[in-house]
Structure 1
Amino acid sequence: MLKDNRFQGYSAGHLQKDIIAGLVVGVVAIPLAMAFAIASGVRPEYGIYTTIIAGIMVSILGGSKFQIAGPTGAFVPVLLGVVMQYGYENLIIAGFMAGIMITLLGIFKLGKFIKFIPRPVTIGFTAGIAIIIFSGQIANFLGLKGIAKHEEFHLNMIEILRKIATINIYSVIIAAICLAIVITTPKFLPKIPGALLGLLVSTLVAITLFPGKVATIGSTYGAIPSKLPSFSFPDLTWDNIVMLFPAACVIAMLGGIESLLSAVVADNMAKTKHNSNKELVGQGIANIATSLFGGIPATGAIARTATNIKNGAASPLSGVIHGLVVLLVLVMLAPYASNIPLASMAPILMFVAWNMSERKEFAHILKTKSADSFVLVATFLLTVLMDLTTGVGVGLLLAIVMFVKRMSGSLKISKVLADTSEKAHKPEVMEYTMQGSLFFGSAEVIEDSFDNIVEAKPKVLLLRMSQVSFIDTSGEALLSKVVERLKDSHSQVVISGLQHQPKEMLKSTGLYDKIGEKNIFSSEPPVSKIKARHRIVTT
């Protein structure tokens, strides 16, 4: 760890800053760890285990100087779905598989490709996740009894309406106290974590004024163990791997996206530069290790990472200290956590959902009333009403289709007007300027334009291609077709201004030699030079 360049120039003064930052972030992480675990359908201590193991390992092995890892809201709907469909034991297997996938993404240096996911898709599924988290806490906020959980959003909403008569006024009071403190603390006591203060105060109120009146962690899940679980290797059978592969892919994708987004936020705040691939390797190994000790999937946590930087962190050591602080709390204070009301956890998660909703970005993209708006809404609605996998999958597909449509419309093939001496009769040299990319999406534009050109049967067709930067095999095939058809009519194709990629593509397919090197110019020659080369005399 001492050879890590993230520790360059480290001193005793930096150590003091790391201890303070690690202590603050550790305290902030504790209520969130339990809340995210409960929202994901597992026992609260599993969130604590994840925070400890992933928090320490990502700080040591990752590629970001200030990254704080742990359970996050992005995973909640995915993990809850896996738990409801396959059970907690299979969630561990899915997390293990996802860790391997994330590690491989980093090893094969594929981190940069995660950044290519379109912004409307990212905003759409993030807003959808926020809605799912927020709505999932309504029952605990109101203290509703006998609530059955469903995978479908609309069924959960119907369930809440059916059981609204079971509302617990004491739960509402506790939740309202916690929510008020969470909202007002940043304004009046900015150095105190609002979530922790809200949790402590509302729990004390519940114990003192309403003993036995509200559901608690202890009454719902039992006592929290004051130690880490033992090592246990997941049951990796072929059937389990096949069954959980889709879920593992989604967890890996989300983990990669969230981690790199968090690392970028950290870079912008601290003026640093992270190593994307190293960060993915660190996140992947941390998720593998977490699953071996019963933890749930983890990723970079943007809010906790920002808190780490704001409190003066100087190196990754602050992340290690944050994990050790959570471990110390687990060992010393776990029995007291059983008294925490579920109504106190609900507003904390609701507040997290509100902050992660990307509402301003969502509104901004909607205002454009463009194809991006359609992709955004489709991703959002499918994430909420169906599931995250469908939302992201369809969102990406729509984004690709919209991109191809835009790109196909960008190709322009325009005829250069003949000079005055040739206007009286058909010009023997026809000039066309091409702008854009020749690829599969522009096939229709290419075919329509070239059909008219071939029918004119010019002696020489001059294609000015200085503004064509890309040709794929589909575009090359159509160009080759034109060359063949004009050759049958004893006509010649001349290309000028050929750029590097199109030139390499034509060489690799043999079309370059078919056209002939003497007919391919790197610059834009005058028509007179073309006429002279092909012995065309203007009368």
Structure 2
Amino acid sequence: MSSFLTRLRAEWAPSIPRELLAGAVATFALIPEVIAFSFVAGVDPAVGLFASFVISIVIAFTGGRPAMVSAAAGSVALVAAPLVQSHGLGYLLAAGLLAGAVQVVFGLLKLGVLMRFVSSSVRTGFVNALAVLIFAAQLPHLHGAAPATWAMLALGLAIIYGLPWLGRVLRLPALSAVPSPLICVVALTLLASWLGLRLPTVADLGNLPDALPLFALPQVPVSLDTLRIILLPALAIAMVGLLESVLTAAVVDEMTETPSNKNRECTGLGLANIAASLFGGIAGCGMIGQAVGNVKYGGRGRLSTLFAGVFLLILMVSLKDWVSQVPVIALVAIMVMVSAETFDWKSLGTLVRHPRMSSAVMLATVAVTIGTHNLAAGVAAGVVLSGVFFAFKVSRMLQVRAVDDAATGQRTWHVSGQVFFASADAFIEAFDVLGAEGRPVCIDVTHAHFWDVTAVAALDKVVERLRHHGCAVQVVGLNEASAVLVDRMGGDAAPAGPLGRRDS
């Protein structure tokens, strides 16, 4: 029993005060982004805020990555916007339900393993691009800003970075007991009120909710026509959400040096999105900026995720009048800090030290993500480019060496490396067919592997050409996997000759 309680506390709340305070920091980091993303999707701020509350509560229990923050996200909002514009909120909620169901199935089928195909270069590009997008999202709040706004931003950043520094220098742990972003929000709100500064406030971002979310099914007809309308948007929401959540979980894994269950995270996200849709909220996913802030200020367990959602609801409903007075610039200061903490600054130095292809993948991921404002598009481009570069690199490892036997006149080609679609043409071109005309020929593939039908077709073509020029061809050394593939393909390189048997 004691061991169970120990594990439960380690998973939920290693330190209750730190979990609560870190969750509060994540909440303040959520507010401006969720409201902004709601406008991107074309829905009221209440839709995004209710979604964030419900998603945080549900995923705190069902997710696979403790301390990770999930809510209504910009990538999902971009995908959802066309559906809202063409058919309205009801169809968006129905699409969210279907997307959640797809994500649950994805997790149950244990497809989270696909994360292994995302290279570290792509993950770094994903993180850096998101940091740039988070910072860029703050620029509209600063465009044409008055000097007082810039002064408040400077003061906010000084509080956020200065208090922890003073605590270390003066050896005063009390200065680090409360996360400095919370002090920034309180201090700038009180100062703006005391000085009578006319700064944009949270109330200016949009109408905030004034009641609890209510359970209700989406108001759409249950028909095949409805399914036709929501199917593609739902699949897009599901894939974008899964991709961003799993990558965010990987980032938190690295920050905390602890593992997570990616399949459970997929299932948990699906359940959270189903619940959000049933309570009138937009679907969401992992929020890397808020997750980084949560972890940075002590969040390690599920309690910080849970409290981020609960505190958001408390602020939006019970403390609405107080939150409405918070200057937007205080939240901008927090998001600038989140952006700086999210960016992998070490990656700039490694650009020249890492292989050029890896650096190119990272830069391409950043460029596509920033250019499209779509994290999924950036990651997809990075994964494709990684695959192309890998195939190119492996294809260059193929070697074909010819050795002539003066006594018998036989020419033996020794093949080593990987033969597949990217190296098949090079394999064919390596054989000097005219130089071996009329001679006995041996193709030794002991140190080679044939991976696909293109590779087998290339071997078949070489054998056919040699036989056409009067050569008696023998192929030796096929490993078992290659021999099975050749056997299935048939043709001149099939078991009718010596090619189909494993020759030791």
Given the superposition, is the C-alpha separation of residues 130 and 33 from structure 1 closer, same or farther in structure 2, using an over 3 Å criterion?
Answer: same
The question of whether the paired residues in 1 share the 8 Å contact of 2:59 and 2:70 is answered with no
* Unmatched runs of 5 consecutive residues or more in structure 1: 145-163, 524-539
What TM-score comes out, normalization by structure 2 length? 0.81
Structure 2 counterpart of 1:514: 496
Structure 1 counterpart of 2:115: 114
1:279 lines up with 2:279 in the alignment: no
* Deviation by residue 1:124-144 (Cα, 9 ceiling, x = unmatched): 34433322321221231x3x5
User: Pick from 349, 356, 359: which aligns with 2:335?
Assistant: 349
Given the superposition, is the C-alpha separation of residues 12 and 173 from structure 1 closer, same or farther in structure 2, using an over 3 Å criterion?
Answer: closer
1:400 lines up with 2:387 in the alignment: yes
Distance 2:422 2:219 in 1: 46
The question of whether the paired residues in 1 share the 8 Å contact of 2:438 and 2:470 is answered with no
Deviation (angstroms), 1:323? 3.8
Secondary structure at the aligned position of 2:326 is classed as coil
The question of whether the paired residues in 2 share the 8 Å contact of 1:263 and 1:274 is answered with yes
The question of whether the paired residues in 2 share the 8 Å contact of 1:54 and 1:290 is answered with yes
1:175 lines up with 2:159 in the alignment: no
Given the superposition, is the C-alpha separation of residues 40 and 441 from structure 1 closer, same or farther in structure 2, using an over 3 Å criterion?
Answer: same
Deviation (angstroms), 1:208? 1.8
Deviation (angstroms), 1:262? 4.0
Given the superposition, is the C-alpha separation of residues 397 and 273 from structure 1 closer, same or farther in structure 2, using an over 3 Å criterion?
Answer: closer
Deviation (angstroms), 1:521? 3.6
What TM-score comes out, normalization by structure 1 length? 0.76
Structure 1 counterpart of 2:416: 435
Distance 1:493 1:171 in 2: 81
Structure 2 counterpart of 1:131: 132
Distance 2:330 2:9 in 1: 39
The question of whether the paired residues in 1 share the 8 Å contact of 2:121 and 2:358 is answered with yes
Secondary structure at the aligned position of 1:495 is classed as strand
Distance 2:140 2:399 in 1: 57
User: Pick from 191, 195, 215: which aligns with 2:200?
Assistant: 215
Structure 2 counterpart of 1:30: 27
The question of whether the paired residues in 2 share the 8 Å contact of 1:99 and 1:287 is answered with yes
Distance 1:127 1:29 in 2: 19
Given the superposition, is the C-alpha separation of residues 361 and 312 from structure 1 closer, same or farther in structure 2, using an over 3 Å criterion?
Answer: closer
Given the superposition, is the C-alpha separation of residues 250 and 191 from structure 1 closer, same or farther in structure 2, using an over 3 Å criterion?
Answer: farther
Distance 2:419 2:12 in 1: 57
1:477 lines up with 2:457 in the alignment: yes
Structure 2 counterpart of 1:448: 429
Secondary structure at the aligned position of 1:231 is classed as coil
* Deviation by residue 1:433-486 (Cα, 9 ceiling, x = unmatched): 222211111122112123x14651365432332322342100101111223334
Distance 1:61 1:228 in 2: 20
Structure 2 counterpart of 1:412: 399
2:207 alignment partner AA = G
Structure 1 counterpart of 2:56: 55
Distance 2:79 2:130 in 1: 12
The question of whether the paired residues in 2 share the 8 Å contact of 1:454 and 1:485 is answered with no
Identity of aligned residues (%): 26
Deviation (angstroms), 1:81? 7.4
User: Aligned pairs, how many?
Assistant: 483
The question of whether the paired residues in 1 share the 8 Å contact of 2:27 and 2:311 is answered with no
* Unmatched runs of 5 consecutive residues or more in structure 2: 168-174
User: Pick from 505, 511, 527: which aligns with 2:485?
Assistant: 505
Secondary structure at the aligned position of 2:178 is classed as coil
Matches within 5 A, 1:5-404: 10=7, 17=14, 19-42=16-39, 45-64=46-65, 66-71=66-71, 75-76=73-74, 79=77, 82-83=80-81, 86-87=84-85, 89=89, 92=93, 95-140=96-141, 142=142, 144=143, 164=144, 167-187=145-165, 188=167, 189-211=175-197, 213-233=198-218, 235=220, 251-265=237-251, 267=253, 272-301=258-287, 304=291, 307=294, 311=298, 316=302, 319-320=305-306, 322-365=308-351, 367-368=353-354, 370-388=356-374, 391-404=378-391
Secondary structure at the aligned position of 2:430 is classed as helix
The question of whether the paired residues in 1 share the 8 Å contact of 2:200 and 2:327 is answered with yes
Deviation (angstroms), 1:289? 1.8
Deviation (angstroms), 1:199? 1.3
The question of whether the paired residues in 1 share the 8 Å contact of 2:442 and 2:476 is answered with yes
The question of whether the paired residues in 2 share the 8 Å contact of 1:124 and 1:362 is answered with no
Deviation (angstroms), 1:216? 1.2
Deviation (angstroms), 1:294? 3.5
Distance 2:379 2:252 in 1: 25
Structure showing greater radius of gyration is 1
Structure 2 counterpart of 1:153: none
Distance 2:480 2:98 in 1: 42
Structure 1 counterpart of 2:171: none
Deviation (angstroms), 1:338? 1.0
The question of whether the paired residues in 2 share the 8 Å contact of 1:69 and 1:298 is answered with no
1:466 lines up with 2:464 in the alignment: no
* Deviation by residue 1:493-529 (Cα, 9 ceiling, x = unmatched): 4333333321221232234423337x73443xxxxxx
RMSD: 3.7
Secondary structure at the aligned position of 2:447 is classed as strand
